[in-house]
Amino acid sequence: MKPESDPLQTDRQFFMSLLESNIERLDSLLDDNFILIDVMRGDEITKSSLLEVMRSGRLRFTTIEPAESHVRFYEGVAIITGRTQMKAQFGEIELSVRSRYAHVFIDQAGQWRLVSAQGTQITETESAKT
């Protein structure tokens, strides 16, 4: 069965869900086995951990600007790579980060669901080259 949605559209919905702290929509976009590799420390964050920290309000995104998104398709899988500039508040800590990201989506019953997300921080030296 061909997915009803475009994975790039689903990727944008993921970023908007984070920005709007829309836990219900975020929950529906993420596979139950979702893993996020944190852009700041490289920690593995599960779906339940991400939803919990978002629900508590300890993590709030104030800006998410994705750019240069590209998608590659494989049987039942879409891999999106791109760049983002994000600002967030984690507790009392303000974060501002430019990153490259890779998101892996799978087709589940005609809907794209995010199963893995990895962010790699772009340092000032690297960003001068881009």
Q: State the Cα–Cα distance between residues 18 and 23, nearest whole angstrom.
A: 8
Ranges of the chain whose pLDDT falls below 70: 1-5, 125-130
Q: What is the C-alpha separation between 80 and 77, in angstroms, rounded? A: 10
Whole-model pTM: value is 0.88
Q: Give the tens place of pLDDT for each residue, 68-86.
A: 999 999 999 999 999 999 9
Contact 120, 100 (CB under 8 A): yes
Q: Does residue 13 contact residue 7 with C-beta atoms inside 8 Å?
A: no
The CATH code of the domain at 7-129 is 3.10.450.50
Would you put residue 91 in left (φ > 0), alpha (ψ -120 to 50) or beta?
left
User: Where do the domains of the chain lie?
Assistant: 7-129
Question: Sign of the C-alpha dihedral, residues 20, 21, 27, 33?
Answer: positive
**C-alpha to C-alpha distance for 10 and 33, rounded to whole angstroms:** 17
pLDDT at 1: 46
